[in-house]
Amino acid sequence: MLIRLGYDIQFDIPQDVPFVAILNIHPSRVQDLHEPDHLIIEPDVPATRYADVFGNMCTKFFAPAGRLRLSNSTLIEDSGEADPVNRQAREVPVEYLPEKVLMYLLASRYCEVDLLTDTAARLFGGLPRGWDRVQAVCDWVHEHVVFSYEHARCTRTAVEVFNEKAGVCRDFQHLAITLCRCLNIPARYATGYLGDIGVPAVPSPMDFSAWFEVYLEDCWWTFDARHNTPRIGRVLMATGRDAADCAITTSFGSAYLKKFEVVTEEVHAAVPAAYSLTGG
């Protein structure tokens, strides 16, 4: 399966400001690209690419005052298979976890492990350990939290999601991540492209999506507390402790979002070399 990926993001910048963007696909998917994955910055300014401490590909640049446009269009090959499921995957005792995984048991900016430990033990502590316990966490969050763009708030933490029972995709994942960490299951935040491939299309505009990964057996597995079903065509961009580590753009000063369009569509025919995000 081939998937067309792209975005058109525009800001008004009142005065010169440094930016960091995480808008390239994750290095683990680079070998699947059929076209270059270039972040186009308008106006053209010098930019530096680097890998952050989580292995995400970042771009640092200095944006002058005025209109800033970040755009890209690329083509990636995907297996066309849904997220893998392994009901026999076991939890790894903390003492046997790799050292680099231990950070994903700790509290972070949006995931207050210490405040939900008793709740997690009450809800899930008695369940058999392993894949099914993580799925039980996803089921609970999916059933008790209402998805609503109107309830979006960039400062909402896992405890607030638990109390308010509403939010957007990142909020679902933050709560599920926190509950897993409370159960000594390493969990990390993930973000990337997720289009309506293999599912009925929804009228809302496409966006980047959030999901999460848990460490079972000896590898990371994909879970999604918002959709709560295996999906086709996830394309990873970044992982981290929570959304603070995976922000698609960070400005070190004022920047006002004026346009945000994302494309993630299966390609059924030959794709022209030139592709416009705004061409319909």
The strand order across the sheet containing 249-251 reads 47-51, 57-63, 17-21, 249-251
Q: Where in the chain is the domain with CATH 3.10.620.30?
A: 94-245
* Percentage of the chain lying above the pLDDT 90 cut: 89
The whole-number pLDDT of residue 270 equals 55
CATH 3.40.50.620 is the classification of domain 2-80+247-266: no
CA 162, CA 166: separation in Å to the nearest integer? 8
Place of tokens 């849904």: 82
The whole-number pLDDT of residue 89 equals 97
Structure tokens at 117: 């430990």
The whole-number pLDDT of residue 151 equals 80
CA 189, CA 191: separation in Å to the nearest integer? 7
> pLDDT digits over 210-255, tens only?
999 999 999 999 999 999 999 999 999 999 999 999 999 999 999 9
Residue 106 above 50 pLDDT? yes
Radius of gyration of the chain (CA): 19
Residue 268 above 50 pLDDT? yes
Residue 280 above 90 pLDDT? no
Instruction: Compute the average pLDDT of residues 146-165.
Output: 92
CA diameter of the chain: 57
* Percentage of the chain lying above the pLDDT 70 cut: 94
Alpha-helical runs (H) found in the chain: 113-124, 131-144, 158-164, 169-182
The whole-number pLDDT of residue 152 equals 86
Place of tokens 């530096």: 48
Q: Where in the chain is the domain with CATH 2.60.40.2250?
A: 2-80+247-266
> pLDDT digits over 51-85, tens only?
999 999 999 999 999 999 999 999 999 999 999 99
The whole-number pLDDT of residue 149 equals 84
Residue 190 above 60 pLDDT? yes
Residue 273 above 80 pLDDT? no
* φ, ψ (nearest 5 deg) of residue 15: -155, 160
CATH 3.40.50.150 is the classification of domain 94-245: no
Residue 8 above 80 pLDDT? yes
CA 2, CA 4: separation in Å to the nearest integer? 7
pLDDT band at 148 (very low <50, low <70, confident <90, very high): confident
Structure tokens at 211: 């999901």
Residue 204 above 90 pLDDT? no
The whole-number pLDDT of residue 98 equals 97
- Tell me what percent of the chain is helix, strand and coil, each rounded to the nearest 5: 25, 35, 40
The answer, yes or no, to whether the previous bond of 18 is cis (omega within 30 of 0) is: no
Instruction: Compute the average pLDDT of residues 159-173.
Output: 96
Helix (H, G, I), strand (E, B) or coil at 79: coil
CA 28, CA 228: separation in Å to the nearest integer? 24
CA-to-CA dists, residue 44 to 41, 47, 214, angstroms: 5, 9, 39
CA-angle at 47, arms to 45 and 51, nearest 5°: 165
The whole-number pLDDT of residue 269 equals 59
Structure tokens at 65: 């005052």
Q: What is the mean pLDDT of the chain?
A: 93
pTM (two decimals): 0.93
CA 7, CA 76: separation in Å to the nearest integer? 14
Instruction: Compute the average pLDDT of residues 2-31.
Output: 97
The whole-number pLDDT of residue 271 equals 47
Specify the higher pLDDT residue, 268 or 12: 12
CA-to-CA dists, residue 104 to 21, 50, 146, 203, 218, angstroms: 23, 23, 26, 35, 14
Sign of CA dihedral 105, 108, 111, 113: positive
